[in-house]
Amino acid sequence: MAVDIQPACLGLYCGKTLLFKNGSTEIYGECGVCPRGQRTNAQKYCQPCTESPELYDWLYLGFMAMLPLVLHWFFIEWYSGKKSSSALFQHITALFECSMAAIITLLVSDPIGVLHIRSCRVLMLSDWYTMLYNPSPDYITTVHCTHEAVYPLYTIVFIYYAFCLVLMMLLRPLLVKKIACGLGKSDRFKSIYAALYFFPILTVLQAVGGGLL
């Protein structure tokens, strides 16, 4: 196999993207950021993510998916309590919202249309924070090589939270307005208002602490 010979890339996550392949001949571009769904290998070439998530990856995704549901249930109980018999229906609706959001997220992730995702293996903690490892060869110019080395474990959580929020805004206000008659007008929507606070908090948690978690 013939591969063009170029100097090795600087930094941990800079790589060369495949530009042309004809039989055994491969031509790569200059060092830079890898496209979405790819990460650098040991030879500093961008390679597609073709592996399946490991058990630990699924446990992490399951934990992040359960956080909104648990918080929904907590605030539904907190603001409903014994004042209304609608809490059970709101619990079921929250479960439906999060379940549908998870299914839709898997369906729109690569490969599209199946309940399966392809991923890149997590090798070290820095894989989650590639933005901190952009090299500066002359200490003046920074080569930006930030990409999702843990594809799709980082962005798929944000997509899931977005679908959770959209489904909640579509379904929950109608349900609460119909069945939460035992609560005052200012109380019946408080569990929804609470979600508008904790979803940004969860987003920041994933953005900053995803790798640590």
Evaluate if residue 129 carries a pLDDT over 70: yes
| Range(s) of the domain holding residue 143 | 14-209
Within a domain: residue 194? yes
Task: Output 178 or 47, whichever has higher pLDDT.
Answer: 47
What is the number of structural domains in the chain?
1
Within a domain: residue 63? yes
Within a domain: residue 100? yes
Q: Give the predicted TM-score (pTM) of the model.
A: 0.88
Residue with tokens 């956080």: 67
Across 23-125, where does the E strand assignment appear?
Answer: 25-32, 38-40, 46-48
- Whole-angstrom distance, CA of residue 119 vs CA of residue 207: 18
Whole-number Cα distances in Å, 158 to 38, 66, 161, 179: 19, 14, 5, 31
Whether 101 and 164 have beta carbons less than 8 Å apart is answered as yes
- Whole-angstrom distance, CA of residue 189 vs CA of residue 183: 9
- Whole-angstrom distance, CA of residue 175 vs CA of residue 177: 5
When the pLDDT of each residue in the chain is averaged and rounded to a whole number, the result is 86
Confidence of residue 81 (pLDDT cuts 50, 70, 90): low
What is the β-pairing status of strands 25-32 and 2-3? parallel
Which H helix or E strand runs over 189?
A: none
Which H helix or E strand runs over 75?
A: helix 55-80
